[in-house]
Every structure is written in structure tokens, then in C-alpha cells.
Structure 1
């Protein structure tokens, strides 16, 4: 992990460098704006001292993520320079030391954010929640994975995975707080078993708000190799926020006339069909007809799995062997990679 600090100010230098050392982040200090351009693209995080922000903005470096203007007692000029640089924020170090510590803790994780896969039922009872659990269980065998419960009317993903008694942060705690959420804080805070974490509700469920979704999902993808969203069939701004952030969207529906018709209406309501694909469950309708009605390609056909209900009732999740769901999860994630 690397940090580029552009400043001549001893105050900025002495405020930032010790925090970088504490976070284990290597820091390159550059006192000449023109010379800093050589490392501008390569650094994981760029911190621009308010003393050199205007001079650097005058050089018009290419826009990139992870740029922040920092200083003590920031002036209006510093804020204008932050806008000109396309900086994510301008931070007063006299008040933002904790923010910088969290930001440094995320350095390197943000450089290669995880993939976000959304799963939604094209029709009620199609098995979208089960598939979401299967995808998360499969990927968690090898890398950090977060399963996100976006459906307040669902059964509770932690129950299906036998994780309901594990301590950790649920949606309620996140909706009651504000401010930036660190990737590491989220990853280490949610209920987790080895590589698999789950974010869901406890007790009385309530609809997720768009502001919380907008704050949590960036931290989720920074801190995990894969994030799987179990999406609600109905929703407003919060569901739209979740769907908009998906790299891939899987619509699960039975291959029946009612199921495919319902999926077609859902796809029209969701938008973002360019990232969506069908996952078909057993039914009498042909693949070509399902594709024609929905306008979506078929990503997988998943037959019934023996013993699935018993496995879910026991809190084992859907992956207990090498059945159809394991093969579907493997193939779908390989195609999404």
C-alpha cells in the first residue's frame, strides 16, 4: 500500500506521516507539485497539502479516485482547489485524524474493489435467496465474501446459514449512525464465519433507506472479494441504489408462463437490463421463449436439489455437497469474474 503526500508544510507532514507509519502504509513525500505527477496514478491514496493544492490544480493532473486535500484550518482557497482537482474531500487534520486513520486502513483494499452481484426473484418463491446464499457460500471457500440482506420481508440470511446467534453489526446499527464507514470496520464488525460475513436485520425489520445503502456498499466492496446482494422484488429509492451498484444482476424465475411474465415486468421496473441475466428454475417453458419474453440471456438453468429444505431448516445453507446449486454457483461466478 502506498500514499503520496504532496506538501512543504511541516505541520501537514508531521500530522500525516506518523499516521501512515501506524497503518503500515508506505508514504512518499513530494515537495514539488510538478514532480509529484510521476507518482500520481500509481499511489493508492493521494494527500495534497493545502499549501500546494492551488499550484497542483494549476497543472491539471488527470482525475482519479482517492485524492484528498488536507491541512489545518482550511481556507476557502483550499476548498476551491479541492474542487478543481476533483478531490473526494478536503479535510481539516485538526479535526479529522480519526478519519485519516480509517482511510489509511482501507488503502490497498480500495485499489482492487470486489465484485458486486445482485440476485432478485423474478417471481415470488423462485429461489433467489437460496441462490444468493449458494453464491456467497461457494466464494467464501477461498476469499472474503459478504452476503447482504436487502429484503426486509425475507427469511433472514443469517438463519439460513446458521449464523443468527453470532455477534456482530446488523442493519439497525448502521441506519442509526452517520459518517464514513471503513471497509475494515465493516468486514470485522458483521457476523462472520471464516471468510463468510452476513449483513442482515435482527428483531423487527424495516425498509432500508437509500442513504444507508449508499454509505455501506462502497465499504462492502472495498473490504471483500465478492459482495452478494439478496434484493427485494419491491422497493423504492433504496432498491434502485442497490441495483445501480451491481456489476451483475441475476433474475431467478421458474420456466413457466406466469413466472417468466412476472420476471419481464420486474426487469422493466428495475432498469439496468444490460447487466441482467436469467437463472431458470424447472418449468415447462423453453429457454428460447424465456429469453424472448424477458429480453434477457440465460446464465444458468438450476434443477431442484434433493434435501435442500432440510439443509436450510438446519441452518447449513444450500451448499452441503456437489449438487446443482454448487455447480450453478461455480459457473455463474466464473462467468462474472
Structure 2
């Protein structure tokens, strides 16, 4: 029973219940405060009508998240009752239908969002996209995962994973949408293989629309345990903003003099802080050299993986059960958690 509506008001009933039905969300309407306590803690969302808010407050139900006092309008007394209930807000549904629609779209989603891990190449050809795919593939059996292609000039993450023919919305479709998108709707609409979803482009001409990314990323992280961003090194201010939205940022660099030098310039340009770590690929420099020149801690060293190109060409993605990418993904995500 996702939504509990406590009211005797037919107007409130008619304002809430049809929207629940339209959102595909079950609702229980209770007009007797004495019966509220049996369902109080089970509902994902509790809407207490202003007409009964005082009586419900007198019962002193357990404090919990997701309680709102609603009315048409609620009236001044509703605010005192809301304080007694520990309600999160007092809502005038006559002016806040969009708020209710938005609240219903997220019913059933976890209260605590997942996390965003960004992957960016310190130098060209560092293997950023390969690592991003491996992280997402490793985590997908453990929880809902979204792999986001933020590199318009990349190969297309769906192609690396053999999902280019899987139906679902791409970036172009999201640019054309308006209104509030729910976490569940996004999770179910992108191309998906079991627990792994991919958000990428459908055509050859690509451009990352930053306002759309700003709108989509908070929704994505509410609906997934892990969101992996494959970031484009060349995107300037766009890269800086997307990197700032990440909980952890992995900078991939080959352990070569040109590679580490380019990585150091990127690190200085972005002003990276303690959320960033260095993933080192094979080369002649040591981990200590890479740390000294970039200022970032080395969080993983990933060796070359045999059969990688063949695995990707077959649409299986880069991850193999016991390869170096699998070990790196396990260690990186465990440490980040």
C-alpha cells in the first residue's frame, strides 16, 4: 500500500485518488484517525488531510519520513498539527498539483539515493570507456546500475555492450521531454539488460545537452544504486560541472611521460579534490611518479587484459570473471562504498 490518505473530505479524495490511479500507485483512504496507526509505518507516502490532522496528531504516531499535511487550502491550524506530527511539509493541493504528481512518481523508490562514479581520461586512449563499462557490468548483478554516455565523440556504450539494438530512450528523446521525470520511469525506459541500463545516443551526430543532463542525473541516482558516468576529456566547462556532480571521480592515465603530463594538466584545470583518484594503466613510470606529478592518489593499477578486443567485438563488454578489469572494478567500487 504505497499511499495512505487520511481524510473525510470528498474534495481531497477526488484531488488525490485519481492522480494515484494515473500514476499506477495504490492508495488506501482512511477516514477514521483511530485506524491510521495500523498502516502508518507501512505506506511509502502519507498524506494527512487538514480536516483530520489535529485528530491524527493527538494519537502521537511514530515520527517518520514521507508525511505531509494537505488541504484545499490547508488553513492555519494545519501548520500546528504538522509540527506535532513531524510532517515534512504543508501543501495546498489547489496550487500544488505538480508537487503531488512528482511525489507519486517517486513512490517506492529508496529514501537514500545511490552514488555517482565518474570516469575520465587524463590522456587520449587511456581506456576510460572500457573501465566505465567494466564498473557498470561488475555492479549490475548487485543492484540497479545505469551507465551514462557523456562523451559525444565516443564509440557508444551500448555498442560496446552489445545493446545497440535494445529498444529504449536515448539522449535525443530525453531532450524532447518536458515536465518531471520519475526515477522509476527513467529506469524502465532506457535500454536495459537485466539490472544494467545504458543511456547513450542513437545517431552519429551527437551533442550533450547540459540542461537535460542537469535534469536527468538527480533522477538517475534516485532510481539506481550506482550511476557510472563516462566523461569526455575535451568538454571543458561541461566536464567541470559533471565532474563536480560525482561522488567519486576516477582519472585514468597511462603510466607514460606524455600521458601523466596530460593528466596533470587536466587535474590542474579541474581543481580536483579528495573525491578523485588515479587509475594507472601500463607504462614506464611508477605509481609514485604518477602521484607526485598529478597530486592524486593512485587507487588502482589496471594491467592489459587478454582478449579484450574480441570480447567487445562480440558484444559481451570488457568484463570477464577473473580478468584485471574485474579485480579493479571490485576493488574500486568496494573502496568507494
Counterparts of 1:318-337 in structure 2, within 5 Å, are 318-337=318-337
For 2:243 and 2:76, the matched residues in 1 are separated by: 38
1:229 and 2:243 aligned = no
Call closer, same or farther: CA 1:28–1:273 in 2, change over 3 Å: closer
More divergent stretch after superposition (188-197 vs 43-52):
43-52
Contact 1:210 1:238 in 2 (8 A): yes
For 1:113 and 1:13, the matched residues in 2 are separated by: 31
Call closer, same or farther: CA 1:173–1:296 in 2, change over 3 Å: same
RMSD: 3.0
Shift of 1:270: 2.3
Encode CA deviations 1:265-298: one digit per residue, 9 max, x unaligned.
1122223422110000011112122112111111
**SS of 1:23's equivalent?**
coil
For 1:297 and 1:306, the matched residues in 2 are separated by: 27
For 2:134 and 2:67, the matched residues in 1 are separated by: 35
Q: Which runs of 5+ in 2 are unaligned?
A: 28-42
Encode CA deviations 1:199-248: one digit per residue, 9 max, x unaligned.
00011332212210111111111111111000010224543332222111
Call closer, same or farther: CA 1:65–1:107 in 2, change over 3 Å: farther
Call closer, same or farther: CA 1:45–1:58 in 2, change over 3 Å: closer
Contact 1:6 1:49 in 2 (8 A): no
For 1:200 and 1:68, the matched residues in 2 are separated by: 39
Call closer, same or farther: CA 1:40–1:326 in 2, change over 3 Å: same
Question: Which residue of the partner structure matches residue 149 of structure 2?
Answer: 149
**TM-score, normalization: structure 1?**
0.82
For 2:258 and 2:63, the matched residues in 1 are separated by: 51
Aligned with residue 49 of structure 1, among 50, 55, 71: 71
Call closer, same or farther: CA 1:179–1:19 in 2, change over 3 Å: closer
Contact 2:114 2:222 in 1 (8 A): yes
Call closer, same or farther: CA 1:43–1:265 in 2, change over 3 Å: same
| Aligned positions, number | 314
Question: Which residue of the partner structure matches residue 84 of structure 1?
Answer: none
> Radius of gyration: which is bigger?
2
Counterparts of 1:185-204 in structure 2, within 5 Å, are 185-204=185-204
Shift of 1:307: 0.8
For 1:4 and 1:39, the matched residues in 2 are separated by: 14
Question: Which residue of the partner structure matches residue 120 of structure 1?
Answer: 120
Question: Which residue of the partner structure matches residue 256 of structure 2?
Answer: 256
Shift of 1:108: 3.6
Contact 1:255 1:285 in 2 (8 A): yes
Contact 2:46 2:66 in 1 (8 A): no
For 1:123 and 1:6, the matched residues in 2 are separated by: 58
Call closer, same or farther: CA 1:221–1:29 in 2, change over 3 Å: closer
**TM-score, normalization: structure 2?**
0.82
Counterparts of 1:61-210 in structure 2, within 5 Å, are 69-72=91-94, 74=95, 91-92=96-97, 96=98, 100-101=100-101, 103-210=103-210
For 2:310 and 2:322, the matched residues in 1 are separated by: 16
Question: Which residue of the partner structure matches residue 298 of structure 2?
Answer: 298
Call closer, same or farther: CA 1:326–1:7 in 2, change over 3 Å: same
1:32 and 2:53 aligned = yes
